Amino acid sequence: MNLAADISIAWPEIFVAVTAMLLLIFGVFQGNQSARLISWLTVGVMFIAAVLVLSSHSGRTVAFNDLFVVDAFANFAKVLLLLGAALTLILAMPFNAREGIPQFEFPVLVLFAVLGMMMMVSANDLISLYLGIELQSLSLYVLAAIRRDALRSAEAGLKYFVLGALSSGILLYGMSLVYGFAGSTGFDNLAAVFAAGDHDGAPIGVIVGLVFIIAGLAFKVSAVPFHMWTPDVYEGAPTPITAFFAVAPKIAAMALFVRVMLEPFGDLFEQWQQVIWFISLASMTLGAFAAINQTNIKRLMAYSSIGHMGFVLVGLAAGNETGAQGVLLYLTVYLFMNVGTFACILAMRRQGRMVEDIDQLAGLSRTSPKMALALAIFMFSMAGIPPLAGFFGKYYVFLAAIQAELYTLAVVGLLASVVSAFYYLRIVKLMYFDEPLDAFDQPVGKEISTIVIGTSAVTALFILVLWPVLGSAAIAAATLFAV
Amino acid sequence: MFTATIFLPLIGAIIAGFVGSRLGNRFAQLVTVLPMLASAILACVILYTVGFEGQGETVHLFTWIDVGTLEISWALRFDTLTAVMVFVVTVVSAMVHVYSIGYMSHDPHIPRFMAYLSLFTFFMLALVTADNFVQMFFGWEGVGLCSYLLIGFWFEKPTANAAAIKAFVVNRVGDFGFLLGILGVFFAFGSLDFDTVFAAVPGVADQSFNFLGADVHMLTTVCLLLFIGAMGKSAQIGLHTWLPDAMEGPTPVSALIHAATMVTAGVFMVVRLSPMFEFAPVALTVIVFVGGTTAFFAATIGLTQWDIKRVIAYSTCSQLGYMFFAVGVGAYPAAIFHLMTHAFFKALLFLGSGSVIHGMHDEQDMRRMGGLFPKMKVTGTLMWIGSLALAGVPVLAGFWSKDIILESAFAAHTGMGLYAFWAGIAAALMTAFYSWRLLFLTFHGKTRADNHTFEGVHESPPIMIAPLLVLALGAIFSGYLAKEFFVGDGMEAFWGTSILMLHNVIEDAHHAPKWVAQLPTVMAAIGIAGAWLMYMLRPSWPGKLAALIRPVYQFVFSKWYFDELYDMMFIRPSFYLGRGLWKSGDGAVIDGVGPDGIAAATRDIAGRAGRMQSGYLYHYAFAMLIGIVLFASWFLFGFFQ
Amino acid sequence: MIIQALAFYLFALTAIAAGVMVISARNPVHSVLFLILAFFNSAGLFVLIGAEFIAMILVIVYVGAVAVLFLFVVMMLDINFSELREGFLQYLPIGALVGIILAAELILIFGSWVISPEAAQSIAAPSAAPSELTNTHALGRLIYTQYVYLFQAAGLVLLIAMIGAIVLTLRTRPSVRRQRIAEQVSRPVEDVIEVKDVPTGSGI
């Protein structure tokens, strides 16, 4: 237990932290004109970090007095969120340059947020969990409000901040209740305490504490009824930030959620399953129904992501290895679908202005057929139509639900995906069957077109990479149950 | 040869139908008329070889359906009955094809018309050559379809469309019976092959089945169901209403389909199935009753109609009644005999009236005709020949066939047979009367047409007259020439096994009293004289008579109120029911709860979900708190219970 | 011990009462003052359990910095609190309902509170006996060894807070005229003053 060993285990995080601070200093001296350079450097840092994560020891190791854990599950999630963050940052660069977000702090904050997320997924203690969340959240609050002169952006940031603070309070309250019972905040200790307790159920205080913790985490994954911030923040925040919000923090929070539920509280499965069951069901349903009336595509994506999180939670509610595997697979799929869709949204510009109305997509198939095709692929995939990526995500979480005999959840999930298909396919219908409006600005830019092509290819041909992804997800999921 | 006869018209129809419009009218006419003529010539040869040399055979084409115990082949069955039918169908059809070249020369859709005609001929041939019930049903439905298409050929005319739909729907009632009958046959015999079924008939003649607690004679039921199909096709009373309306179609269509061929399909079917009907005496009695009633009833209506084609249509209806009661009393050969002669003279009459209509520039109302004979001598003469044949004036075709039918009915020595006999005699009187009413109103007396129209009246071109001449030959000689084989001494040799008669009623008919044989002729004479009296000598009498017996006249003129009755009994209730089911059933319940309801509910929920998103921070925070309280309460209650 | 108990109840009740007053006082300045009172009482409670370092930190940081900052903000911002309160009152019934339910549930929970028998074993870092080390010393030892990860992470959180504050508020306004003393002082006279020779009686 020496510091050097600890550092070698946490090397990717330390690398990110140190480079983030170096970039900050660099930016302070260079000023805002270095924003683009810093952005690219940040992307580079993220890729290096991803490589470091991949090259790390694959077994489960803990560091810093059991506060920090590295295992296959954490690594899988880290790679995903690094990838998501890097892609969204690349998307953000032309937007920032164009729309007047000159601050060099932007990429630095993204990097800090990513650091927070990495700490979240590697948390092995309630306190480190909390600090990871706060590090991430604070960065996100600032990012949401970064267009401080735009009223909506400021409003989004403020709302996110206040509600996030509330959720942090709830989370901390739950942690204190749990600590009060177990006398420890370490995951390993908690697991030992609950495993030793009689299995008729833990004392009610602990369970209520667990409910509070779930509520705090559900806020982070924007699950119903803790989702209310999502549409407003998604709509208000600058579009690349929304893309970032929709991907990386969701992946991190969901991975954290799964770890917290399955590792320290794994023996309280029967208690928390009901809550997760309800949250999942409510999220799927609300995500499906509320999106129907939306006219703003970013709000639509907000509800869509609420719905997707509901589907992911189905895997968690199953509480088995297939479920955890399904969660990781779904998150992978979700990453590509969402990044791609937001790249398309970023390409929705007319006469230099961003348009966000869904109706503006009318007749896109004739004005820019390639983009329409890509968007159609994403929409079909989100609707869960085989053989696109989204289908496999849904398939594996429902498979897990069936294995766990959660038939109601599976049925409601299927119905919800039918309802949600309505609004996904409406977009396709708009693009392919309605009278075209003026074309969007051309060209959309190298960054956007590259990412759209890449993600749509992955989404369409996911079946080719399905088995490798599924295999590593299986290994990652297994580590949660090995303890 | 057999195959070629059947499929030549189909080839013509396909070519004319698919490429005719591109290659021109003349091409379409040639490509349909020539195969049709070839087919007619082949049919004559077939009649000779099969009928007189006894070389009938069944041509097996391919296996069509093979499911479990049901095996259905596509085969052409050629025995004498088929040969006669093929002969009639192809000859009349060929004549109509030729006639159509002239009659339809100004129509913009000639290829379509010719294709339909040929297609119809093919289906009709498929019907008469059928080797099993399914193939017969195929032809049966095919001719129904073509009939629909041809009645509605002038699709711009709403009345034509309505008539086409009416014909189709009324036929469906019959077809439903036919289909049930076929299913009954399969149920009873386990096969749909004619030979298999016929061989098994004596074995099941006494079987019955239980239906709703009552024991029902199986064969009778099956035969009655099949007869309902025949009633629909052959426009027997009850299901006859479509036939007069079908006159909305072009006249050649009326001649071919609604006089000579398709409407006789019912008669043919019962004759073809004589091995079954012979063992179902109750069904035969019903047939006699229906046939006799139709013969009488249709003739009464024919007395009063003003539309030249409708008169002939009711006449057709009436003559079909003759055929049916002939079948019913067991005189199948007599029925087919009348079928053949009727085909010739009725086609002649229709085509002749078509010639008149053509000459009068599409005028069909006899009240605006008269005195046309000087201008249309050939047509007039031919119509006279046709009418003489129809009325049963000696030596002409109708005389022989009608006589033998009436004699058979008398000779059957059953109550129902006598009923049919007297109905037939009355109908014969009326037939003669309305035929000459038609002739006098159209060709003789002073014209009632306006000057302009009358000036324009002209004789039809040779291409239309030539087929009439051929048919006239048939109308004059076919009876005399064929009576020996059809119903005379050569009968047994001629028909062979194609018709089964348990009791040879024709033989008895030849020994009927003399007055029975002479009565129809006397009736015809009275009818002609009466018509001459009423329409030539005292033209004011018909009006006075109509006024005198006004209720009866109204009743008859309104066609016994069948259309009104059906309108009240079926059409309005079904419209009402349909509308009710549509509005309340489909619209309110199925759509309301189903697709529309779900969609509306979805939108409603979506709206509510959207309104929850108020934008107020404290609402959001509150929602979170409520969520937590709910979860906590959930566990607390669970815990303390 | 009695004095200790008395002190505890004094501090605790005052803290609660102050907390209630914070949210119920009409004047926002009074609210902040009550908040400061609550902080002081909490500090007293910490002193009672021997955590004098935290107690002092509470007074210095919360009272000395945070609360005073609050006071300045409240005084400087022109917020119509009575208007806000109306909205608050509108939701009071349902809010009270939820609050009462939550409170009742928490009371139930604490009424049946148990501590896991295994808890004692799992206490992560038993600190040295208070008699051997000062409070500050003990904290320092834990923070910089056992919890160095958390300490650094907390540092990063604060850094983010700082960056955020700067990003969201720092503005460079080119249109605002600022006094640049160095420039003023170093300007040569001839750039600033021009002497004109004005002929008498003609004006400029």
pLDDT band at C172, cuts 50/70/90?
confident
Cβ-Cβ contacts under 8 Å, B611 against chain A: none
Query: Looking at this protein, which amino acid is placed at residue B228?
Result: I
Min mean pLDDT across B288-302, C63-77, C108-122 is at C108-122
- Cβ within 8 Å, pair C105-B636: yes
Find the angle CA(B256)-CA(B259)-CA(B262) to the nearest 5 degrees: 70
- Cβ within 8 Å, pair B610-A293: yes
For CA atoms B548, B551, B554, B560, give the dihedral sign: negative
Q: State how far residue B581 is from chain A, nearest Cα, in angstroms.
A: 29
CB-CB neighbours of B56 under 10 Å? 20
Query: What is the token pair recorded at A61?
Result: 């190791």
Chain A neighbours among C 135-194 (CB < 8 Å)? 146-150, 152-154, 156-157, 159-161, 163-164, 166-169
Of C146, C160, C166, the CB nearest to A65: C146
Of A211, A212, A290, the CB nearest to B606: A290
pLDDT of residue C130: 59
Best interface-test mutation with C: which of A21, A105, A162, A198 has the largest number of C CBs within 10 A?
A105
Query: What is the token pair recorded at B425?
Result: 């005699």
E strands present in A118-270: none
Q: State how far residue B626 is from chain A, nearest Cα, in angstroms.
A: 8
Query: Looking at this protein, which amino acid is placed at residue A289?
Result: F
pLDDT of residue C84: 63
Query: What is the token pair recorded at A417?
Result: 């995906």
Those residues of chain B that have pLDDT short of 50 are none
CB-CB neighbours of C127 under 10 Å? 15
The verdict on B621 touching A (C-beta cutoff 8 Å) is: yes
Query: Looking at this protein, which amino acid is placed at residue B483?
Result: K
**Nearest to B272, CA basis, from B325, B320, B230, B237:** B230
| Contact of A479 with A72, CB cutoff 8 Å | yes
CB-CB neighbours of B327 under 10 Å? 30
The verdict on B629 touching A (C-beta cutoff 8 Å) is: no
Alpha-carbon distance of A291 to A296, in angstroms, equals 10
**Nearest to B114, CA basis, from B91, B92, B98:** B98
pLDDT of residue A309: 94
Instruction: Give the C-alpha distances (Å, rounded to integers) separating C76 from A435, C20, C70.
Output: 55, 24, 10
The verdict on C65 touching A (C-beta cutoff 8 Å) is: no
Peptide bond just before A386 cis, omega within 30 deg: no
C-alpha B80 chain-centroid distance: 22
pLDDT of residue C80: 67
**Nearest to A233, CA basis, from A287, A162, A339:** A162
Cβ-Cβ contacts under 8 Å, A224 against chain B: 627
pLDDT of residue A115: 95
Of B622, B625, B633, the CB nearest to C105: B633
For A327-343, the DSSP string reads: HHHHHHHHHHHHHHHHH
pLDDT of residue C126: 57
Residue pLDDT tens, chain A, 483 long: 577 888 888 999 999 999 999 999 999 998 888 888 999 999 999 999 999 999 887 688 888 888 999 999 999 999 999 999 999 999 998 888 888 777 888 999 999 999 999 999 999 999 999 999 999 999 999 999 888 888 888 888 899 999 999 999 999 999 998 888 888 888 988 888 888 776 555 677 888 889 999 999 999 999 988 988 999 999 989 899 999 999 999 999 999 999 999 988 888 888 888 889 999 999 999 888 888 888 899 999 999 999 999 999 999 999 899 999 999 999 999 999 999 999 999 988 888 888 888 888 888 888 888 899 999 999 999 998 888 999 999 999 999 999 998 999 999 999 899 888 888 998 999 899 888 888 888 788 888 999 999 999 999 999 888 888 999 999 888 888 875
Phi, psi of A205 (to 5 degrees): -60, -45
Phi, psi of A477 (to 5 degrees): -65, -35
State pLDDT tens for residues C21-66: 888 887 888 888 999 999 999 999 999 988 888 899 999 998 888 8
The verdict on C115 touching A (C-beta cutoff 8 Å) is: yes
CB-CB neighbours of A94 under 10 Å? 17
The pTM for the full model equals 0.61
Best interface-test mutation with B: which of C83, C102, C107 has the largest number of B CBs within 10 A?
C102
Of C120, C122, C154, the CB nearest to A192: C122
- Cβ within 8 Å, pair C101-B633: yes
Alpha-carbon distance of B635 to A167, in angstroms, equals 20
- Cβ within 8 Å, pair A170-B631: no
Alpha-carbon distance of B397 to B474, in angstroms, equals 8
Cα radius of gyration (chain C)? 29
Alpha-carbon distance of B86 to B124, in angstroms, equals 9
Instruction: Give the C-alpha distances (Å, rounded to integers) separating B200 from B81, B219, B341, B465.
Output: 21, 11, 33, 50
- Cβ within 8 Å, pair B613-A292: no
pLDDT of residue B587: 67
Of C102, C108, C109, the CB nearest to B629: C102
State pLDDT tens for residues C129-147: 656 778 888 888 888 888 8
* Helical axes A462-482 vs A72-99, angle rounded to 10°: 130
Find the distance separating the first CA and the last CA of chain C, reported in whole Å: 92
Query: What is the token pair recorded at C193?
Result: 């003053």
| Contact of A38 with A23, CB cutoff 8 Å | yes
Query: What is the token pair recorded at B520?
Result: 């129809």
Of C98, C108, C109, the CB nearest to B629: C98
pLDDT of residue B373: 83
Q: State how far residue A306 is from chain C, nearest Cα, in angstroms.
A: 25
Enumerate chain C positions whose Cβ falls within 8 A of a Cβ in B: 87, 91, 94-95, 98, 101-102, 105, 108-109
Query: Looking at this protein, which amino acid is placed at residue A161?
Result: F
Query: Looking at this protein, which amino acid is placed at residue B4?
Result: A
Looking up tokens 């020779």 gives: C197
Region of B395 (left: φ > 0; alpha: ψ -120 to 50; beta: rest) is left
pLDDT of residue A199: 52
Within 8 A by CB and 6+ apart from B282, the residues are B217, B220, B224
- Cβ within 8 Å, pair C164-A142: yes
The verdict on A138 touching B (C-beta cutoff 8 Å) is: no
Domain total in chain A:
1
Instruction: Give the C-alpha distances (Å, rounded to integers) separating C101 from B84, B144, B622, B626, C90.
Output: 98, 78, 14, 10, 19
- Cβ within 8 Å, pair A211-B636: no
pLDDT band at C122, cuts 50/70/90?
low
- Cβ within 8 Å, pair A131-C154: yes
C-alpha B427 chain-centroid distance: 20
Query: What is the token pair recorded at B270?
Result: 């019962």
Q: What is the DSSP letter of A296?
A: B
Q: State how far residue C30 is from chain A, nearest Cα, in angstroms.
A: 23
For CA atoms B430, B435, B437, B438, give the dihedral sign: positive
Alpha-carbon distance of C40 to C58, in angstroms, equals 8
Q: Is B211 exposed, middle or buried (0-12, 13-18, 19+ CB in 10 A)?
A: exposed
Domain that holds residue A420: 3-480
